[in-house]
Structure 1
Amino acid sequence: MALSDKTAVVTGAAMGIGAAIAEILLQHGAKVVLLDVNEPAAKTRMDEFQKKYGKDRTLFLKCNVESEEQIKAALQKTVETFGRIDILCNNAGIADEVDWKKTISINLVGIISGTYLALEHMNKLTGGQGGVIINMASITGVYPVQGCPAYTASKHGVVGFTRGMAITSNLAGYGIRLNAICPGPVQTELLNMSISRFGRFFHLQCPPNIIQEVMGILTPSEVAEAVLELVMDETKNGEALVLLRKGKQYVTFPSM
């Protein structure tokens, strides 16, 4: 997929992985709409991008992915501004074992809502251009991690939903590919989650220095490069790409 005439929407785009994804898509010619609840950070990021890539290629819209109404309004505004949606990166996420319902709500329900609402604009059967949806999972979406069962469940759900929706889209002829990215630890605020948010299982957490020694720490830019691969490679559909400091690997799931 060439990106020069495409429009992308990235959630959680103000900082970290989301900002890196937005920038790499801009670098390859796409127009990018930044969705985030952090208005000050997102506006600063948009100003930065507009100076580098032009004022007509990026837009910030405040959006809480827990609200279907806000997602719907943001996607509609995107179409009104840029005429189409070709790429959706469902990136927004949190790690909170205390408020585990919020973790499920943002990490999984938000992705399902965003995907279903984007289908209304992207689906070839209803006048859309097709495209690709990338959902942010985690290494914990494939391998459970001690002490974070709710976060693990949310990311397993992302992988399962992505694979199921990819099959559905293919069979229905929507013209939309869906893939999940499953990075290991990334140098973002999420990596430095307060011990108070680990909840009842905080004592089981693996010390950060051990995680870094065993798995290494990725940069947001490295994750963004892998996302770009999933966006541009039109042979990829229903994939879960595990990304670690030592390399990347597509997951092989059992076949029926």
Structure 2
Amino acid sequence: MALTGRIALVTGGAQGIGRAISEALLREGAKVALVDSNPEVARECRGRLEEAFGVGSSLFFECDVTDWAKLQEVFRKTVKHFGHLDIAINNAGINNEKDWQKTINVNLTSLIKGTYLALEHMSRENGKDGGVIINVSSMAAFMHSPHMPVYTATKYGVLGFTKAMAEASAVGNFGVRINVLCPAYVDTPLLQTIDEEDKMGRYFKYKEELRQSMHTYGILDPSLIADGMMMIIKDGSLNGAVMKITASKGIHFQNDEPMSA
């Protein structure tokens, strides 16, 4: 898929992985709707992106992805403004073991909703032209953490849901490729939650063990995740692919055979 003139929507798009992905898309000539719940970060990001890529290259929406009505509105406004949607990246995520229901709502429930909203605006079933959906999981889906069990559960869920939806797309001829990206530790604000007792709850006492795990496995730069994301977007053969990104192996795929859309 050539990206010039393509329209993308990225949740959690103003910081960390989402911001790196948004910048990569804009560099390739796409236009991007960035969705983020942090207005201060979004304002700073908007200024920098408009300076680098021009006014009109991006839209910004302040939105809590758990707000179903607001998320629907964001998708509708993106399509109304740009005319269509080609790429949806469900990237928003948190780690909050104390408020574990919120973690499920952000990391899994909202991602499922984002996938269905993207299909509403891209699937051939609805008379659209197809596209690409990429859901962000984690290496936690393969190497579970006893100190972040609910976070781990959500990432398992993202992996299973995405692979099942990719098969549904192939069987139903949606014309939408659906893939999942699983990075290891990435240098984002989410890593800082291990130092917050209000986020870690009963697992806060294990923060030194988590730090040691990060030291052992290494911490990735968000730009590498964006590189992997661009590979998935551009490779039209990938549907149901599971991309892993780790410090030791870099960008690589799970051995499962990807399906064709």
TM range (shorter): over 0.9
Larger deviation, residues 20-29 vs 194-203: 194-203
What do you get for the CA RMSD once the two structures are aligned? 1.6
Query: C-alpha distance in 2, partners of 1:145/1:154?
Result: 12
The count of aligned residue pairs is: 255
Which deviations, in whole Å up to 9, do the C-alpha atoms of 1:25-83 show, x marking residues without a partner? 00111000010111121122112111111112111011111011111100110111100
Shift in Å, 1:211? 2.2
Query: C-alpha distance in 1, partners of 2:110/2:142?
Result: 20
Shift in Å, 1:252? 2.8
Q: Structure 2: which 5+ runs fail to align?
A: none
Shift in Å, 1:142? 2.0
Query: C-alpha distance in 2, partners of 1:129/1:47?
Result: 32
Q: Equivalent residue of 2:96, what SS?
A: coil
Which of 215, 220, 231 does residue 218 from structure 1 map onto?
220
Q: Equivalent residue of 1:60, what SS?
A: strand
Q: Structure 1: which 5+ runs fail to align?
A: none
Give the AA of the match of 2:204. Answer: F
Confirm or deny: 8 A CA contact 1:146 1:205 kept in the other structure: no
Alignment of 1:213-252 (within 5 A): 213-246=215-248, 247-252=250-255
Aligned counterpart, 2:119: 119
Aligned counterpart, 1:6: 6
Confirm or deny: 8 A CA contact 1:144 1:152 kept in the other structure: yes
Aligned counterpart, 1:172: 172
Aligned counterpart, 2:53: 53
The normalised TM-score by structure 1 is 0.95
Larger deviation, residues 21-30 vs 40-49: 40-49
Aligned counterpart, 1:181: 181
Query: C-alpha distance in 2, partners of 1:213/1:58?
Result: 36
The normalised TM-score by structure 2 is 0.93
Give the AA of the match of 1:176. Answer: V
Q: Equivalent residue of 2:144, what SS?
A: coil
Q: Equivalent residue of 1:145, what SS?
A: coil
Confirm or deny: 8 A CA contact 2:108 2:155 kept in the other structure: yes
Confirm or deny: 8 A CA contact 1:184 1:218 kept in the other structure: yes
Shift in Å, 1:91? 0.6
Which deviations, in whole Å up to 9, do the C-alpha atoms of 1:165-194 show, x marking residues without a partner? 000011111100111111111111111113
Query: C-alpha distance in 2, partners of 1:90/1:211?
Result: 26
